[in-house]
Amino acid sequence: MADPAEHREEEEEAAAGGEDEDTGAQVAPIVKLEEVAVTTGEEDEEVLLDMKAKLYRFDKEGNQWKERGTGTVKLLRHKETAKVRLVMRQSKTLKICANHLVAATTKIQEHAGSDKSCVWHALDFADGELKEEMFAIRFGSVENCKKFKDTIEEIAEQQEKNEEKENEEVSSTAGLVLKLSVSEAKKEENAEKEEASAEDKKDAKE
């Protein structure tokens, strides 16, 4: 008669052997996740400035400053148009809390009573529509605030020069078109005179 203990050992060995056996079967995942390309809209722009800050907007109805968000403020220059925009996203949600062009008319100044803060007006598009906003931004240091202010002023000055150059080119092109138009008109006038003269000579011979 077989020993029950030996019989149990054989069953345990068989079970263990079954666990180690590789069946070669591959279990496919129930849900297949595909990679999705995420775009930020900043792919064609170069970063001129990137800093942490806290942004406020002035509420005209309540006549008070309201916090817009804490996060990263960037100054981005488009590689083709050379236009520069200010973009700020909230640090946790990445929600856009400021998005506007830095124009030649952009004027920035220190906030009264704080050398770590600046204020300026802008036509902002953060909420999906253009709105006139007054912003205030606060940095962790005086140095960062100064760097931000100086960079904005440099960009505004450069944009003004670019606009002047564009206006000069437009004026130059308009002047060239005018000269060509006058020249063409004179040619047509001379051609008409020559034609009339030729007809007069022909009539005189007859």
> Cα separation of 159 and 102, whole Å?
8
Sheet with 45-59: strands ordered across: 96-101, 84-90, 64-78, 45-59, 131-138, 117-124, 108-110
pLDDT of 206 reads: 60
pLDDT of 173 reads: 78
| Average pLDDT over every residue of 9-37 | 58
- Look at 189 and 19; give whichever has higher pLDDT: 189
- Vertex 94 angle, CA 88 and 95, to 5°: 75
Please check the confidence at residue 22 and state whether its pLDDT lies above 80.
no
pLDDT of 165 reads: 82
| Average pLDDT over every residue of 81-93 | 95
Percent of the chain whose pLDDT exceeds 90: 56
pLDDT of 41 reads: 74
pLDDT tens profile 100-115: 999 999 999 999 889 9
Long-range own/partner contacts, residues 165-168 (CB < 8 A, 24 or more apart):
none
